[in-house]
Chain A
Amino acid sequence: DIQMTQSPSTLSASVGDRVTITCRARQSISNWLAWYQQKPGKAPKLLIYKASSLESGVPSRFSGSGSGTEFTLTISSLQPDDFATYYCQQYNRYFGGGTKVEIK
């Protein structure tokens, strides 16, 4: 089984900041990676699929990159609605531990 490691676990940022979250796979998963956003009491929401494809309706300030074992999720200009927890997931398998984006 392929483990997914996310960093950082917590991130403090301000509105307007550029934010980057990293996800690493223990072995290559090609581009079979998704990114989710979760807010308290809600089901996760898909943001990015196949490492870099933006899900329909997701703001363009979100972007994903990477392939193989290293991936990143970038929020180009953090908005108030973006304070949440973010997870990477190898397709239909293991999740990363999550990154909580907090208000600085």
Chain B
Amino acid sequence: EVQLVESGGGLVQPGGSLRLSCAASGFTVSDKYMSWVRQAPGKGLEWVSVIYSGGNTYYADSVKGRFTISRDNSNNTLYLQMNSLRAEDTALYYCAQDVIWGQGTMVTVSS
């Protein structure tokens, strides 16, 4: 079955770090472009980052310099390393590949 399963969310203090994981099954992460998309409570979708099969990465201005997208081919897993977290990073974080979306993992940044 083709699916994506995110994990790693939780409560973190402002300035802290968190690493999100997205385990893929049914396809190979390194063969596809993979994205992170977030949605703050009651708000719209916000694109965060993308990594292409060739390894090129791109980030939204709101996270550039703080977040890093990567993948582990041996584990077929996508990651999002989030540093210097702010209250405005509070959101449900989805990983996505074309039509395939995970269920999301919630990140709350609060003291």
A interface residues (Cβ-Cβ under 8 A, vs B): 1, 36, 38, 43-46, 55, 85, 87, 89, 92-98
Question: Size class of B's contact patch?
Answer: 10 to 19
B47–A95 touching, CB < 8 Å: yes
Contacts of A96 in B (CB 8 A): 44
B residues engaging A (CB < 8 A)? 33, 35, 37, 44-47, 50, 58, 60-61, 94, 96, 98-99, 101-104
A103 to nearest B CB, angstroms? 19
Q: Is the CB of A43 within 8 A of B47?
A: no
Residues of A with C-beta under 8 A to B103: 43
A86 to B35 alpha-carbon distance, docked (Å): 19
Q: Interface on chain A toward B: helix, strand, loop, or mixed SS?
A: loop
Q: Is the CB of A44 within 8 A of B33?
A: no
* Residues of the A chain whose Cβ atoms lie less than 8 Å from the Cβ of B94: 43-44
Given contacts A92-B33, A92-B50, contact A43 B104 (CB under 8 A): yes
Contacts A1-B61, A43-B96, A95-B44 known; list 14 others, CB within 8 Å.
A1-B60, A38-B45, A43-B94, A43-B101, A43-B102, A44-B45, A46-B98, A87-B44, A89-B47, A92-B35, A94-B60, A95-B45, A95-B46, A95-B47
